[in-house]
Amino acid sequence: MNDNSTPVTVIGLGLMGQALATAFLRAGHPTTVWNRTPAKADRLVEQGARAASSVAEALAAGSITILCLTDYPAVHELLAANETVLSGTTLLNLTSGDSAQARTTARWAEQRGAHYLDGAIMAIPQAIGTADAVILHSGDRSDFDAHSATLAALGTVSYLGADHGLASLYDVAGLTMVWSVLNAWLHGTAMLRTAGVDAAAFAPFAQQIATGVATWLPGYAEQIDRGSYPAEVSALETDARAMAHMVQESRALGVNAELPELIKAMADRAIAAGHGGEQYPVLIEEFAKPGH
Ligand code: FVH
- Mean pLDDT across the chain, nearest whole number? 97
Give the closest residue (by CA) to ligand 1 atom 31.
74
Q: Which three-class secondary structure state does DSSP give residue 43? A: helix
What's the 238 CA to ligand 1 centre distance in angstroms?
47
Q: Is residue 54 pLDDT above 70, yes or no? A: yes
Residue 78 alpha carbon, nearest atom of ligand 1 = 32
Instruction: Convert the pLDDT of each residue in 257-277 to its tens digit.
Output: 999 999 999 999 999 999 999
Question: What length is written for the chain?
Answer: 292
Exposure class string for 134-144: b at 16+ Cβ within 10 A, else e:
bbbbbbbeebb
CB of 172 shorter than 6 A to ligand 1: no
* pLDDT tens digits, one per residue of 151-203: 999 999 999 999 999 999 999 999 999 999 999 999 999 999 999 999 999 99
Alpha helices in the chain (DSSP H): 15-26, 42-46, 55-61, 72-80, 99-111, 141-151, 166-193, 199-226, 236-253, 258-270, 284-287
Task: Decide whether any atom of ligand 1 lies within 6 Å of the 17 Cβ.
Answer: yes
The CA distance from 106 to 118, in Å, is 8
The answer to whether the CB of 12 is under 6 A from ligand 1 is: yes
Confidence of residue 3 (pLDDT cuts 50, 70, 90): confident
Q: Which atom of ligand 1 is nearest to the CA of 120?
A: 7
- Based on C-alpha coordinates, what's the Rg of the chain? 24
CA–CA dist 85, 272 (Å, integer): 58
Indicate the pLDDT class of residue 45, thresholds 50, 70 and 90. very high
Q: How far is the CA of 17 from the centre of ligand 1 (A)?
A: 7
pLDDT of residue 82: 97
Q: Identify the residue whose C-alpha is closest to ligand 1 atom 28.
A: 74
Which pLDDT value is given to residue 1?
46
- What is d(CA 10, CA 17) in angstroms, rounded to the nearest whole number? 7
pLDDT tens, 89-122? 999 999 999 999 999 999 999 999 999 999 999 9
- Can you give the pLDDT at residue 291? 81
Q: How far is the CA of 16 from the centre of ligand 1 (A)?
A: 7
Does 240 score more than 70 pLDDT?
yes
d(CA 135, CA 19): 13
Cβ-in-10-Å burial (0-12, 13-18, 19+) of 52 comes to: buried
Predicted pLDDT at 2: 52
Which of 11, 66, 69 gets mutated to test ligand 1 (max ligand atoms within 8 A of its CB)? Answer: 69
Does the beta carbon of 16 lie inside 6 Å of ligand 1? yes
Strands 115-122 and 134-139, how do they pair?
antiparallel
What is residue 68's predicted lDDT score, i.e. its pLDDT?
Answer: 98
Return d(Cα 120, Cα 203) in angstroms, integer. 29
